[in-house]
Structure 1
Amino acid sequence: MSTPNRVYIARLAGVAVFDPNGDQVGRVRDAVARTRPTQRPPEVVGLVAEMPMRRRIFLSINRITSIDPDAVVLGSGTLNLRRFEKRPNELLVLQELLDRRVQLDTGQAGSVVDVAMECSRGGEWALTRVAVREQTSRLARRGHLHQVEWDRVRGLGGLADSRGTANLLAVLEDMRPADLANALQDLPDARRNEVAAALDDERLADVLGELPEHDQVEILAALDRERAADVLEEMDPDDAADLLNELPPPEQDVLLDLMEPDEATPVRQLLRYASGTAGSVMTSEPVILPPDATVAEALARIREPQLSPAVAAQVFVTRAPLTTPTGRYLGMVHFQALLREPPADLLGGIVVNDIDPLRPTTPLPEITRRMATYDLVAMPVVDRSMRLVGAVTVDDVLDHSLPRDWRDRDAGPTAPATDEGHLDGGNG
C-alpha cells in the first residue's frame, strides 16, 4: 500500500475515493474500527464511503492501495454495494469519538479533536494516537493540543457522556445540505439533535429541508420554541409549511405566532391549500419584477446567490404590488431570453404569456403533465383575479411526486450484494 504510515482520520473526511481506472466512486465519510477484548487499540478494518444517491458502503482496508490527503485509491476486485451497517463490536471513529470528553493519564481533562490510524509492518491498521485539546475555562485561550498514544487516554471506550460538537461540525462544515442531512441520519438521535442544534439558523434550515419528515419533527421538537421559530423563518415558506403540516394544529399556531409577521404570513397562506395541489407545493417567493424593469435589472436579480437554480431560471412579470399576491400577472421571461436581449430593453417587451398559468387547486399529476409537455422548470400559479400567488418549480414537483420516505436512507431498495467489475468492500 502506497500511503503514509500514520493518517489522521478527520483529515480524510470528504476525500474522493477512486477505482483503479481513475473514476470517482464516492467520498470518505468515516473509518470503521473493531474493538478487541485485550487492551490493544482497536483495529481499523475499513472506511465508510458515500456513493451517489446517498448510499453509504464499506470499503475493506485490504482493498485500499493508497491513502493521501487528496485521494483514496482502491485496488482491483469487486465492490460490495450493500448499505453499510455497523456491527456491535465496531466503532465509527469520527461519529463516536470526535468531541468526546476524555482524560489523559496526567489527569488533564480534554476533548478529542482527531484520531490517527497507523499501519504496522505486518500490514494491520490500528488506532494508535489521539489528538486531545485541554479543557479550559471559557475566559482562557484555547487549551493546549496533545497528541498522545491511545493507551494514555481514558474515556475512549463505552458510551459517551454529553459532549460538544465543534470538532464534528468542523468535519461536516463543507458538506452540501443534502449530504449533511444524510450524515445526521447516521447519528444516534441524541447526538443528531445536539449537532443539529449547534448549526446556525440558516444552515439548520437548509439541512431540515433535506431530511425525512419524522427527523425534521424530532429535531424541531428538541429546540426551544423561540429557536424553532427562528429556524422556520430561515426556511423557504413552502418547506416551512410542509414541516408545520407534520405538527398538531395547536403547535403550528404557537410557532407561527413566534415568527416575525412578514415571515409567518406566506407560510399561513400556504397552509390553507389542500395537499397535492399547486397551492400546497408552490413557493410564494419567486422572482417577480414589473414590466418597466430592464433586462439588466432582471439579470442582477437572478444572480442572487440565495436563489435556487429552479427559482432563478425565470422572472415573473406582474403589475404592482410585487409581493404575492401580486397585481395582475402579465407573463414570464426565461433567463436564456434575458441573455439574448440588450440590457436596456424592458421586460414588458419580451414577456411570454402563451402558456396558461396554474390555479392553486390544480392537482399534482396535471402539473407534472404540463411541465413535461412544455419542458418547463417552473410554472406560475394565479388566483381567480389573475394575481400571481406563487410558482411551482420542478424540484417541488419531484419532491412531492416521490414516496414520502424517499429521503430516509433506510427506505430505499437494497442494491445487489456485488457488481461485477467493481471492488469487494463488504464488512463481513
Structure 2
Amino acid sequence: MSATRVFVARLAGCAVFDPAGDRVGKVRDVLVVYRKDDPPRVVGLIVEIPGKRRVFVSIGRVTSIGGGQIITTGLINLRRFEQRGGEVRVIAEMLGRKVAFNDGSGTASIEDVAIEEREPGEWEVDQLFVRRPKTSASPFAKGPSAYVTWREVRETTEAGEAQSAEQLIATYSELKPADLANTLLDLPPQRRQEVAAELPDDRLADVLEEMPEIDQVEILAKLGDDRAADVLDHMSPDDAADLIAQLPEERGEHLLELMEPEEAEDVRFLLSYGPDTAGGLMTTEPIIVSADATVAEGLALIRRHDLPPALGAAVCVTLPPYEPPTGRFLGIVHFQRMLRYPPHERLGSLIDQGLEPVKAETSAAEVSRILASYDLVSVPVVDEKHRLVGVVTIDDVLDYLLPDDWRSHPEDESEVSRRATARAQLATGSIPIAPGRRAGDGTR
C-alpha cells in the first residue's frame, strides 16, 4: 500500500480507479464492523458508480490508497449496496458520536476517524480525531481537539439519543443537492432525520427538491411546523406546491399560513391548477423584463449564480406589472440571440415571433410534445387574458414523465423507457461485472 493510515473524511469523494487507470467511481463512505476487544475492522468502501448507484467494494480489493485516489483490482460487483446488520458507516454514522475518555477526563465528539493497514488487505480503525465541549460562550469558539486511540475512549451515545450531524454535513458540504439527497436516502431513518434537522433551511430545501415525494413527506412530517414552513419558503414554488399537495389538507393549510405571505401566495396559485396541466407543472419565477430593457440588462439577470439553467435560457417580455400574473405577454428572447446583439439593443426588438405560449389549462402531454418538437428548454404559460403566469421548463416535464421512484432506482430502465424514452441508459463504462459470490472473493 502507498499509505498505511488514512483519515476517512478525506476519502469522501476520492476517485476510484481500476488497474488500467480507468475511473470506476468515487468513495462515499467506509464500512466497518465492531469487535468486542479490538478496534472496529474495515470491511470495505461504499462507492458511487455512474448512474448514481452505490456499490460495495471489499477492502481486500483495494490495492492502493493515496494521493487523493484509490486503486482497486478492477473487479466490482454492480449489485446495489445494502447495509447488513452489524455494519457501521464511518462518515454517516460514526462522525458526531459522543465518547468518554477512559481516564475520566471528560467527554468529546468524534470529528474524524483514521483507518490503518495492519497487514496486507487488513485495515482497522486506528485513531480518532475528537473535540471536547467548548469552554467559551462565544458562538465562534470551539472546544479543544485531540487525537486518541480507539482504546483510550468508549462510546457513550445511547439508543434513541440524537447524534450530532455537524461533522457529516461539513464532510458532504461540497455535494450537489441531488448527490446529498441520495446520500440521505441511503442513511438509516433516524440518522437521516438527525441530518435533516441540522441542515440549514436553504440547503434542506434544495435537497428535498431532489427527493421522491414520499421521502419529502416523511422528513417534513418530523419537522416542527415553524421549521417546515421556513424550509418550504426556500423551495421553488412549484416544488413546494407539489409537496404540500401530498400532505393532509389540514397541515398543508396550516403550513401555508406560517409561510411568508408572498411565497404562500405563489404556492396557492399553483395549487389551483390540475397536476397534469401546464399550470400544475410551471414555475412562477421566470425572468421578466419590459420591452425597453436592454441586452446588457437581460444578460446581467441570467448571470445570477442561483438561477437554474433552464430559467436562464430566455427572458420573458411583458407589459407591466412584471410579477405573475403580469401585464400582457409580448414574447421571449433567447439568451443566444442576446449574445449576437450590442449591449444597448432593446429586448422588445429581439422577441422570438415564432414561439407561441401555452394556456395554463394545456395538458402536460401537449406541453411535452411542444418542448420536444421545437427543441425548447422552456415554454411560457399564459392565462385567458394573455398574461404571463409562469414557464414550464424541461426539468419540470422530465419530473412529470419519469416514474415517481426514479431517484431511488435509477437503474430501473424498463420502467423509465415506458414513461420517458429519452432517459439515458445507465453508463457502466469499463467496470467488469463480478461473477457470483465465491468463498473468499470479497464480493457481496
Task: State the Cα distance separating 1:100 from its structure 2 match.
Answer: 0.3
Q: How far apart in 1 are the matches of 2:214 and 2:318?
A: 38
- The amino acid that maps onto 1:54 is K
Q: Any stretches of 5+ residues in structure 2 without a counterpart? A: 415-424, 435-440
- In the alignment, which of 104, 125, 128 is matched to residue 126 of structure 2? 128
Alpha-carbon deviation of 1:409?
A: 4.5
Query: In the alignment, what sits opposite 2:79?
Result: 82
Shift of 1:19: 2.6
Residue 323 (structure 1) shift:
0.6
Q: CA deviation at 1:42?
A: 2.0
* SS at 2:228 equivalent: helix
8 Å Cα contact 1:213/1:246 also seen in 2: yes
Aligned partner of 2:112 in structure 1 is 114
| Farther-moved stretch of structure 1 (204-213 vs 348-357) | 348-357
Shift of 1:285: 0.8
Letter in 1 for 2:54: R
CA change 1:30–1:160 in 2 (3 A) is: farther
TM-superposed CA distance for 1:22, in Å, is: 2.9
Q: How many correspondences in the alignment?
A: 424
Aligned to 1:6: 5
Does the alignment pair 1:98 with 2:108?
no
Shift of 1:157: 9.1
TM-score by length of 1: 0.93
Given the alignment of the two structures, is residue 277 of structure 1 paired with residue 287 of structure 2, yes or no?
no
What code does the residue aligned with 2:129 have? A
Give the counterpart letter for 1:82 in structure 2: R
**Displaced runs of 4 or more, over 6 A:** 413-416
Mapping for residues 129-168 of structure 1, pairs under 5 Å = 129-137=127-135, 139=137, 141-155=141-155, 159=159, 161-168=161-168
Are the aligned partners of 2:97 and 2:157 in contact in 1 as well (CA < 8 Å)? no
CA distance in 2, matches of 1:71, 1:27: 9
Work out the CA distance in 1 between the residues paired with 2:6 and 2:327.
61
**Counterparts of 2:362 and 2:12, CA distance in 1:** 45
Equivalent residue for 1:57? 55
Deviation at 1:174, TM superposition (A): 0.8
> For structure 1, which segment, 297-306 or 118-127, has the greater mean C-alpha deviation from structure 2 after superposition?
118-127
Q: Structure 2 matches for 1:299-378, cutoff 5 A?
A: 299-378=299-378
CA contact (8 A) 1:317 1:329 kept: yes
Cα deviations by residue, 1:370-409 (Å, 9 ceiling, x for unpaired): 1111000000001111111100000000011111121224
Give the letter aligned to residue 239 of structure 1: D
- The change in CA–CA distance for 1:257 and 1:16 in structure 2 (over 3 A counts) is same
**Larger relative contact order, structure 1 or 2 (CA cutoff 8 Å, min sep 6):** 1
Tell me if structure 2 keeps the 8 A contact 1:294–1:344.
yes
Q: Is contact 1:11–1:69 with CA below 8 Å preserved after alignment?
A: no
Kept in 1: contact 2:24–2:431 (CA 8 A): no
How far residue 23 of structure 1 moved from its aligned partner, in angstroms, is 3.0
| Bigger Cα displacement from structure 2, 18-27 vs 126-135 | 18-27
Unaligned runs of 5+ in 1: none
Residue aligned with 1:309, SS: coil
CA distance in 1, matches of 2:215, 2:182: 11
Contact 2:31 2:45 in 1 (8 A): yes
8 Å Cα contact 1:81-1:419 kept in structure 2: no
Task: Determine helix, strand or coil for the equivalent of 1:47.
Answer: strand
Please tell me whether the aligned partners of residues 205 and 232 of structure 2 are also in contact (alpha carbons under 8 angstroms).
yes
Higher alpha-carbon deviation: 402-411 or 246-255: 402-411
Q: Which amino acid in the other structure matches residue 432 of structure 2?
A: H
- Tell me by how many angstroms 1:138 deviates: 5.8
Name the residue aligned to 1:70: 68
How many Å apart are 1:35 and its aligned residue? 3.0
Shift in Å at residue 64 of structure 1? 1.8
Residues 242 and 358 (structure 1), Cα distance of their counterparts in 2 relative to 1, 3 Å cut:
same
Secondary structure of 2:126's aligned partner: strand
Question: Aligned residue for 2:245?
Answer: 245
In 1, Cα distance between equivalents of 2:326 and 2:168? 45
Alignment partner, residue 22 of structure 2: 23
Q: Is the 8 A contact 1:12 1:69 kept in 2?
A: no
Deviations 1:84-117 (A, max 9, x none): 1111132211112100011111222111111111
Q: Which residue of 1 aligns with 2:41?
A: 43
- For the pair 1:216 / 2:216, whether they are aligned, the reply is yes
- Aligned partners of 2:402 and 2:67: how far apart in 1? 37
The equivalent of 2:268 in structure 1 is 268
Report the Cα offset of residue 321 of structure 1. 0.8
Matched, 1:422 2:432: yes
Contact 2:93–2:191 at 8 Å: present in 1 too? no
Mapped partners of 1:287, 1:363: distance in 2: 23
Letter in 2 for 1:356: E
Q: 1:234 to 1:426 in 2, by over 3 A?
A: farther
One-letter identity of the residue aligned with 1:174:
E
Change (3 A) 1:138 1:163: farther
Following superposition, the deviation at residue 144 of structure 1 comes to 2.1
CA distance in 2, matches of 1:409, 1:221: 23
Identity %: 49
Letter of the 1:16 partner, please give it.
A
- Partner residue in 1 for 2:172: 172
Secondary structure class of the residue paired with 1:307: coil
